[in-house]
């Protein structure tokens, strides 16, 4: 999940947190066949372990058939047993050294750093393969309302080699503005609404513009 500095930003496809597995497995093959998705991230906060394992197994088969990496949010201990490509964890409360040892050196270790440049630097120095900043747009009425500003991605892109992901309410218009600074863009999960491939193409067009 790395790229050369001159490459255009790529898309990360994040699964909706409460989506039915049948919905994901029906839409994902065409989305990956389009060549628009660099990595898929499985997000199932609060779901029972058996459901997470079942979803991870099903999505791994689809992703690996398309030569696309599948990472899982939080559950890094599932990476090796389920043959996943890596995990994304929150920096706060995480021992990145322990997580790396659990997953193996070849696994993708992504670290969510909220809106903090300092946390991003800590994660990068600890060996994160990517850092995620967000939300780019805060949901109305939810959370503290803090966002990761464009200036953060501009500074990061100029100063730090560790790849960055922009996530959290990212629209097509946002993607176009972010493409010069972030290495990867995670579209808002509303990208799954309707025609997933067509929606991804709109995001990619914004990145290429």
* Residue located via tokens 């990472």: 71
* Residue located via tokens 């922009």: 166
Q: Are 170 and 137 in contact (CB under 8 A)?
A: yes
Domains in the chain, CATH or no CATH each: 10-208 (3.20.20.70)
Q: Which of 178, 169, 108, 161 is nearest to 143 (CA)?
A: 169
Question: H/E element holding 155?
Answer: helix 150-159
Report d(CA 70, CA 75) in Å as an integer. 13
- For 53, counting Cβ atoms within 10 Å of its Cβ (0-12 exposed, 13-18 middle, 19+ buried), the class is middle
Give the CA angle between residues 186, 103, 125 to the nearest 5°.
65
Per residue of the chain (209 residues), give pLDDT as tens: 544 445 689 999 999 998 999 999 999 999 999 999 999 999 999 999 999 999 999 999 999 999 999 999 999 999 999 999 999 999 987 799 999 999 999 999 999 999 999 999 999 999 999 999 999 997 765 566 799 999 999 999 999 999 999 999 999 999 999 999 999 999 999 999 999 999 999 999 999 98
Report d(CA 88, CA 14) in Å as an integer. 12
* pTM summary value: 0.94
């Amino acid at each position: 999940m790395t790229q050369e500095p001159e490459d255009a930003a790529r898309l990360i496809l994040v699964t909706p947190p409460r989506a039915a597995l049948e919905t994901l497995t029906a839409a994902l093959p065409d989305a990956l066949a389009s060549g628009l998705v660099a990595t898929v991230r499985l997000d199932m906060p609060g779901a029972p372990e058996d459901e997470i394992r079942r979803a991870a197994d099903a999505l791994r088969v689809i992703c690996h058939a398309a030569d696309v990496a599948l990472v899982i949010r939080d559950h890094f201990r599932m990476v090796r047993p389920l043959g996943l490509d890596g995990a994304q964890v929150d920096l706060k409360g995480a021992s990145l050294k322990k997580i790396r040892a659990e997953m193996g050196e070849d696994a993708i270790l992504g670290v969510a750093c909220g809106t903090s440049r300092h946390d991003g630097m800590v994660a990068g120095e600890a060996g994160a393969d990517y850092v995620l900043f967000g939300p780019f747009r805060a949901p109305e009425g939810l959370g503290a309302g803090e966002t990761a500003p464009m200036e953060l991605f501009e500074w990061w892109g100029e100063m730090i080699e560790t790849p960055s992901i922009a996530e959290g309410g990212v629209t097509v218009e946002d993607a176009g503005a972010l493409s010069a600074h972030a290495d990867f863009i995670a579209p808002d999960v509303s990208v799954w609404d309707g025609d997933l491939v067509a929606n991804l193409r709109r995001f990619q067009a914004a990145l290429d513009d």
